[in-house]
Amino acid sequence: MVAVPPVVESPDPPRVAWRRQMRERVLREAWALAAQNGWDRVRIADLAERAEVSRPSIYKEFGDRAGVGQALAERETERFLLGLSAVLGPDGRSVHDALRDGVTHTLGEGRRNPFIRAVLTAARGGTDALLPFLTSRPDPVFSSARELLGAWLAETVPEASRQRREEAADVAVRLTLSHMLLPGPRHDDVATRVAGATCAVLGVPGASPDGTPTT
């Protein structure tokens, strides 16, 4: 047998490597500034200074300030979806329990992640302009989370109709986002209620707010 040599990936050309590093530095500083002061106060000049790049380089890479916001929202969305997917995972829990854990994780991210917390806090006051990137622009976290949840339900509850699964995913995401924007006193109860409502739409067993299984 002839041994096949391993494929060795060649390093990126210097220009490509620099561009990738520059892009990451800009997004990292944009994340920090938005988390600290809100997206409304993030300026290209501040990003250029903190990331140690020129303003023309930022404009060339992202187009404008809105382009930075879109790229930042996409990066945070990817990170969030990876975490949510891991929480939902196919580990034998009931649909209700997995959904409850997913909602709990999402609400927890809103409290733990300073960037998300800053966006939500500002949005409650009607001042932050980054929320639309997360909820209504192309590939937002809302649509992506709904698609992820719909795909998970298709694997977990294949007996439910596609329409039911899509409606259930929409209900779960909308209710969770509503509670993130207008949080209630107890996140555990919220997670149970959202999971129960989603199960009701699906037509699968859920649980009452006190955790008692329902049919």
| Mean pLDDT across 126-140 | 60
pLDDT of the residue at 102: 95
Percent of the chain with pLDDT over 70: 78
- DSSP collapsed to 3 states, the chain: CCCCCCCCCCCCCHHHHHHHHHHHHHHHHHHHHHHHHCHHHCCHHHHHHHHCCCHHHHHHHHCCHHHHHHHHHHHHHHHHHHHHHHHHCCCCCCHHHHHHHHHHHHHHHHHHCHHHHHHHHHHHCCCCCCHHHHHCCCCCHHHHHHHHHHHHHHHHCCCCCHHHHHHHHHHHHHHHHHHHHCCCCCHHHHHHHHHHHHHHHHCCCCECCCCCECC
pLDDT band at 211 (very low <50, low <70, confident <90, very high): very low
Average pLDDT in the chain: 82
| Mean pLDDT across 122-150 | 70
pLDDT of the residue at 130: 66
pLDDT of the residue at 162: 94
pLDDT of the residue at 206: 67
pTM, two decimals, is 0.77
